[in-house]
Amino acid sequence: MSSYISWVIKVSSLASQIGRSFAIAKKDMLIFYLKGPVVIMGLLFPLFLFIAFLIGRDLSHEYLFVALIAMTAFFTSTAVGPTIIPWEARSKTFERLISTPISITTVLLGDMQASFCFGLIITFAISLSSIFLHISLNLLIFIPAALLSLLTFSAMTILMSSYPPTDVPADVMMLSSLVKFTLLFVSGIFVPLDKLPGYARAITYISPLTYLVDALRYSTGLNGFIPLWIDFLALFIFGILFFALGVMVHKRVLEERFM
């Protein structure tokens, strides 16, 4: 009986923490979605990058759609997360937040949800372009691939915002931009995996974006290079790893943020 009561208490506590994470996510959405760096890195930059990629190339609609969705999902879901903690640390709201009965994991889960929702809204809005491009989209592949990748990229922002423990958003944005651009250019968006030499192809496997691009190719009828189940498994493992490492680093540097 006592074990049952203990189990009920744990479930109730978990449900309470999840509910609080939703409240944190709602707060983040209202405050950060229209911040300058979020709009620039999440909306304007991928738009101009895609235009630069498009100009002067004779590519199929399917190939362009894969590139557009991959860039959109990657940049929108990683635009919000890195800015939240530094901004809140600077305004002292982060210190006030963690002094309440909320764990740091709950706070970070809320931040991750805000990043996910931002990416979700824009990515699925852009995906409607498949109708105008007359692309036969396999939704049984596209939808889970998009959702899983958005969660993975959102989890990656938790790790990105963990270090350095600063209250200057520009410091975190600079480091996160370096990481994002590195992953972008080794992801197979600009050069398909089957056209890369072996050593270059091996490097692409370190980018979670590679597996989204490959899954999107399957969803549009193009040939993928990696087995589809590996694409999904890799995205899942990357997501768990990013969030776990992000929480661990945040806990270790928590005191340094207030020094």
Where are the chain's structural domains? 2-258
**By C-alpha distance, which of 72, 61, 101 is closest to 221?**
61
Please compute the mean of the pLDDT values over residues 107-115 and round it to a whole number.
87
| C-beta neighbour count of 93 within 10 angstroms | 13
98 or 11: which leads in pLDDT = 98
Asked whether residue 102 carries a pLDDT value surpassing 90, the answer given is no
Helices (H), 78-166: 81-91, 93-98, 104-126, 129-132, 139-160
**By C-alpha distance, which of 23, 75, 24, 20 is closest to 53?**
75
Distance between CA atoms of residues 242 and 248, nearest Å: 10
**By C-alpha distance, which of 94, 81, 95 is closest to 172?**
81
Please compute the mean of the pLDDT values over residues 72-99 and round it to a whole number.
80
| pTM metric for this prediction | 0.88
The 8-class DSSP code of residue 44 comes to I
| pLDDT of amino acid 171 | 72
| 192-213 residues labelled b (16+ CB within 10 A) or e (exposed) | bbeebeeeebeebeebbbbbbb
Q: What would the two tokens of residue 106 be?
A: 């709950």
Q: What would the two tokens of residue 98 be?
A: 């963690």
**Strand ranges (DSSP E) for the chain?**
none
Asked whether residue 216 carries a pLDDT value surpassing 50, the answer given is yes
